[in-house]
Amino acid sequence: MKTLSGGTRELAAETLAALAGGLRGALIAPDEAGYDVSRTIWNGMIDRRPGLVIRALGTGDIQMAVNFARDNDLLMAVRAGGHQIAGLAVIDGALLLDLSQMRSVHVDAARRRVHVDPGALLGDMDRETQLYGLAVPSGVNSTTGISGLTLGGGFGWITRKFGMTVDNLVSAELVTADGQLRHVSAEENPDLFWAIRGGGGNFGVVAAFEFQAHPLGPEVLSGLIVHPFAEARELLQEFRGICDRAPDELTVWAVMRKAPPLPFLPEAWHGREVLIFGACYAGDMAEGEAAMAELRGLGAPIADVISPHPFTGWQAAFDPLLTPGARNYWKSHDFTALSDAAIDAILAAAADLPDPASEVFIAHVGGAMARVASDATAFPQRQAHFTMNVHTRWEDPAKDRACIGWARDLFDATAPHAAGSVYVNFIPEDEPGRLAEAYGGNLARLAEIKARHDPGNLFRANHNIAPQKIPVAAK
């Protein structure tokens, strides 16, 4: 087993037997059933072999794992939904704490509060909340894990109306490096509550989340508008203006890719480059029709399938394009404004996609999330902006170099036009130097909180914030 101090150590059979006997879940060795299931995550490029797996079934198992790792100087990784692009949930030779079996969701409809286990996926939460006509702002792929999404910030189709996922986090149960279970909220352990709202898994293992939910659904006005790629430049110029004028209820994202064989697209367009607008209105249907009129009036679309859809269905609409097992590599920039030069650089790359499954998407965020101060949570990117994700996706390992190179080239070409910030959940493993871009002026405070609660950096298998005490004179 790999150690925190950089070496390796062997664990005695009696030590492992004592650990296994105290778990409600399971202790799984590399040659035992369940090992491959626990170590396999969404990104097919990640093929790592932990030394041992603790498959947790409750908070007690999480505490045992944390205490065992700390007391035995073991490197530990934590896997929840397993959707993070960097794949840091699994580390070769480490102790893997697998939370994926803890997927319970409980809705208190009267209080509009939602209690979510750490292994739950977005689809789990959406299905339960929609039974009561409620929703919690989250992401855009139903197989994404609640834990990773929340701890990094969390944004999606209803963020402009209701804020980010972290803005709707009311409290959490957090197992810290000393093995203690701490309730964190605005009133209790407020420093930790501030830190976990964007600071990732650096401060402990969340055993439960409590969210504020909002009335929404069961249907939302949503869908896709597909245009010929040849018209993309003019359409994206119009898109940025529509985004600037949009009410909080309206969210519009742009995607450039080869058209998948969707049933509503003419077969002649399958496999050809297209520009797709995805739109969602989180409010009254008639008001949504009026709010989307300008967008739907642009150009001569190949298809327009904007209509009322079940919110749960819209949240899962992109799942078929994001199935687990493919090879994925992302690069990302934020843009304060989507300049003509940035559009030109993006379109030049999108005209030469390295694989039919690859795409570039541009998400517009703002509204309610932009009315929160940049230092109110660890997540600091609060101004209205565009986020570009270069989502390179392919199946054949022989294409690794070409696909990764294409993404990096587009990243470099758009860098002169970017804001100099990045969403931490979009950072791949080979960008450890971008933490300052992810956290800006909040990084020093995060490092100081880390030093108080995890001075030994037990929770380091992540986009790691190193513990650093701030001198008294500098406080």
**Gyration radius from the chain CA atoms:** 22
Sequence-distant (6+) residues with CB within 8 A of 166 are: 150, 153, 154, 197, 198, 377, 378, 379
Residue 149 belongs to a domain: yes
Alpha-carbon separation of residue 321 from 143, 247, 352, 448 (angstroms)? 12, 29, 19, 40
Residue 251 belongs to a domain: yes
Instruction: Indicate if 417 and 299 belong to the same structural domain.
Output: yes
Residue 271 belongs to a domain: yes
Q: Where are the alpha helices (DSSP H) in 218-336?
A: 232-245, 285-296, 311-315
Q: What's 22's domain CATH number?
A: 3.30.43.10
Contact indicator for 150, 166 with CB cutoff of 8 Å: yes
Instruction: Indicate if 245 and 112 belong to the same structural domain.
Output: no
- Number of domains the chain contains: 3
Contact indicator for 182, 174 with CB cutoff of 8 Å: yes
Q: Which domain holds residue 373?
A: 220-433
Quote the DSSP letter at residue 229.
G
Can you tell me whether residue 79 is helix, strand or coil?
strand
439, HSE (Cβ side, Cα atoms, 13 Å): 25
Domain boundary among 155, 187, 215: 215
Instruction: Indicate if 427 and 379 belong to the same structural domain.
Output: yes
Average pLDDT per 10 consecutive residues for the chain, totaling 475 residues? 96 97 98 97 97 98 98 98 96 98 98 98 98 97 97 98 98 98 98 98 98 97 98 98 97 97 95 98 98 98 98 96 96 97 98 97 97 98 96 98 98 97 96 95 98 98 91 46
* Cα–Cα distance, 297 to 444 (Å, whole number): 47
Instruction: Indicate if 238 and 124 belong to the same structural domain.
Output: no
Sequence-distant (6+) residues with CB within 8 A of 313 are: none
Quote the DSSP letter at residue 6.
S
Instruction: Indicate if 225 and 211 belong to the same structural domain.
Output: no
Instruction: Indicate if 211 and 232 belong to the same structural domain.
Output: no
pLDDT at residue 473, rounded to an integer: 44
* Cα–Cα distance, 93 to 101 (Å, whole number): 22
Instruction: Indicate if 403 and 300 belong to the same structural domain.
Output: yes
Give the number of residues written for the chain: 475
Instruction: Indicate if 59 and 176 belong to the same structural domain.
Output: no
Residue 470 belongs to a domain: no
Instruction: Indicate if 18 and 80 belong to the same structural domain.
Output: yes
Instruction: Indicate if 151 and 255 belong to the same structural domain.
Output: no
Q: What's 207's domain CATH number?
A: 3.30.465.10
Residue 20 belongs to a domain: yes
Domain boundary among 98, 120, 148: 98
344 token code pair: 């030109």
Q: What's 367's domain CATH number?
A: 3.40.462.20
Contact indicator for 248, 137 with CB cutoff of 8 Å: no
One-letter amino acid identity for 252?
A: V
Residue 460 belongs to a domain: no
* Cα–Cα distance, 41 to 462 (Å, whole number): 15
Residue 92 belongs to a domain: yes
Residue 264 belongs to a domain: yes
* Cα–Cα distance, 389 to 397 (Å, whole number): 21
Domain boundary among 192, 215, 238: 215
Q: Taken in order 144, 454, 172, 384, is the CA torsion positive or negative?
A: negative
* Cα–Cα distance, 365 to 304 (Å, whole number): 23
